[in-house]
Amino acid sequence: MFGTKKQNVSGKQSLIGCGAKLNGDLIFDGDCFIDGTIEGDVSTGDSKKAYLSISQGGCVKGNVSVPVLDLSGRIEGDVHASGKVIFGASAKVTGNVHYNLIEIAAGAEINGQLIHEEAAREPDSLKSYAAEPSSMNEVAAETAR
């Protein structure tokens, strides 16, 4: 939508085809495309760049926890998206949506709460390290004084 295209960097792709039905939880890495029905939770492994697309005919009856979600189908459960959620015009969610960034097309239906959550922050140990002069230019400037 709006000229953005998803590029698969990892090369890992999963597909639940049209007419397929999966009973149980699905854990994936990379990109996952759901055109069928899943009765169970959908989540990613440790991947922070995983992408889930549920087409207009796709349905998940369970909770969804992914970094990026592109929904045109249905989800009957809570959604947790640490990165971005894109709801197409035919998207339908029955459950709460926890998101960092959200894009909603006219016609999308959300029956639950929209709950904004900030992106994960750097640990304090990394912040203090970043505050120290790290580039050669900064070190050179310090020694020239």
Residue 58 lies in domain = 13-120
Q: Indicate the helix (H) or strand (E) that contains 83.
A: strand 79-87
Q: Residue 52 falls within a domain, yes or no? A: yes
Q: Residue 38 falls within a domain, yes or no? A: yes
Q: Residue 68 falls within a domain, yes or no? A: yes
Q: Residue 5 falls within a domain, yes or no? A: no
pLDDT tens for each residue of 115-131: 999 876 544 433 433 34
Residue with the bigger pLDDT between 89 and 8: it is 89
Strands (DSSP E) contained in 9-72 are 13-16, 21-23, 26-28, 31-34, 37-39, 42-44, 51-54, 59-60, 64-71
Domain count, the chain: 1
pTM (two decimals): 0.75
Q: CB-based contacts of 32: which residues, under 8 Å, 6+ apart? A: 13, 14, 15, 16, 26, 42, 50, 51, 52, 53
Q: Residue 22 falls within a domain, yes or no? A: yes
